[in-house]
């Protein structure tokens, strides 16, 4: 899908549906600039192909920065994204916390994990959730071990502190693999995630993890089926906690998506879990 909803065409939608998917992720590169008409047109195109907007993903500054003006702009654009997600009838709006590292949202910083950073995140999320609730939109938190949302326990604490019915967790389980021992024992990681956050899961991101065979610690994402992540356990637990939810394949070039989808089909068939295709 293109990064601008106004550029989504029937050809895009048809290609996604013919690949065996019933939902798509829509990117809001400029969430405060997309027009209502563009959103209506995009929704009509996707509806016509039998596709739901399974996820909205937007660009905005981090929600934890110490610069008040930048954080306020991040909140404003995240709120604009929620309004757009409501017009698209999206299953949820993906929200990431950002990082104190100025080079990117998914870059490490030692202060990402402090109580002060968590307090700023809670304040930002409360403001975003106020708009999400008014628009009838669900927020799915995107988390990672290098981010302020670095563990299932931390995510649960933030959800409780924000106190909004709109706030949920997007189960991107690979993002909680932060060491070789965890990579070698992903069922343990998954049990921790779902025992802590199972009641809050809104969606799933499907990918795999490979260990880089070089000095010294490298944990890389890879095509589902090419790594060592226990996708059988992941999908079994996801089915238990969110049986009607979407599972989104992410971070792959178009040519690798069919293989990822085929492997996921095999995983579900082995587990006796049917896709919901209507």
Q: What's the number of domains the chain is made of?
A: 1
Q: Which residue has the tokens 């937007």?
A: 58
231-248 mean pLDDT: 98
Q: What's the pLDDT at 277?
A: 85
Q: Residue 278: inside a domain, yes or no?
A: no
Is residue 202 a part of any domain in this protein? yes
The CATH number of the domain holding residue 260 is 3.20.20.150
The two beta strands, 219-222 and 208-211, are antiparallel
Q: Are 50 and 16 in contact (CB under 8 A)?
A: no
Cα–Cα distance list, 9 to 14, 41, 277 (Å): 9, 9, 22
Residue 277 lies in a domain: no
Two tokens, residue 1: 């899908």
What's the CA gap between 91 and 137, in Å, rounded?
A: 8
Rounded to two decimals, what is the model's pTM? 0.96
Confidence (pLDDT) at 38: 98
Q: Yes or no: say if 91 and 54 are a contact pair by the CB < 8 Å rule.
A: yes
Please report whether residue 169 resides in a domain.
Answer: yes
pLDDT value, residue 193: 98
- Domain range for 159: 5-271
Do the domain assignments include residue 192? yes
What are the tens digits of pLDDT across the range 28-71? 999 999 999 999 999 999 999 999 999 999 999 999 999 999 99
Residue 267 lies in a domain: yes
Q: For residue 167, is pLDDT > 80? A: yes
């Amino acid at each position: 899908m293109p990064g601008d909803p106004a550029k989504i065409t029937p050809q895009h939608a048809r290609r996604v549906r013919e690949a065996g998917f019933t939902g798509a992720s829509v990117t809001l590169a400029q969430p405060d600039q997309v027009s209502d008409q563009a959103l209506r047109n995009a929704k009509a195109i996707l509806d016509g192909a039998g596709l739901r907007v399974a996820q909205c993903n937007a660009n905005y500054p981090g929600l934890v920065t110490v610069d008040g003006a930048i954080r306020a702009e991040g909140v404003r654009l995240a709120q604009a994204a929620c309004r757009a997600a409501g017009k698209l009838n999206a299953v949820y709006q993906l929200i990431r916390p950002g990082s104190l590292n100025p080079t990117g949202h998914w870059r490490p910083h030692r202060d990402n994990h402090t109580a002060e950073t968590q307090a700023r995140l809670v304040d930002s999320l409360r403001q975003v959730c106020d708009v999400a609730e008014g628009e009838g939109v669900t927020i799915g938190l995107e988390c990672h071990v290098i981010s302020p949302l670095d563990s299932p326990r931390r995510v649960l604490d933030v959800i409780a502190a924000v106190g909004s019915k709109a706030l949920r967790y997007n189960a991107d389980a690979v993002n909680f693999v932060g060491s070789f021992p965890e990579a070698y024992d992903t069922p343990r990681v998954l049990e921790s995630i779902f025992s802590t956050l199972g009641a809050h899961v809104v969606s799933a991101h499907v990918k795999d993890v490979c260990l880089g065979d070089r000095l010294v610690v490298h944990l890389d994402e890879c095509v589902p089926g090419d790594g060592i992540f226990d996708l059988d356990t992941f999908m079994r637990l996801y089915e238990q906690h969110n049986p009607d939810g979407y599972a989104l394949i992410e971070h792959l070039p178009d040519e690798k998506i069919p293989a990822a989808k085929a492997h996921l089909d095999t995983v579900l068939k082995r587990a006796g879990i049917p896709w919901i295709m209507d």
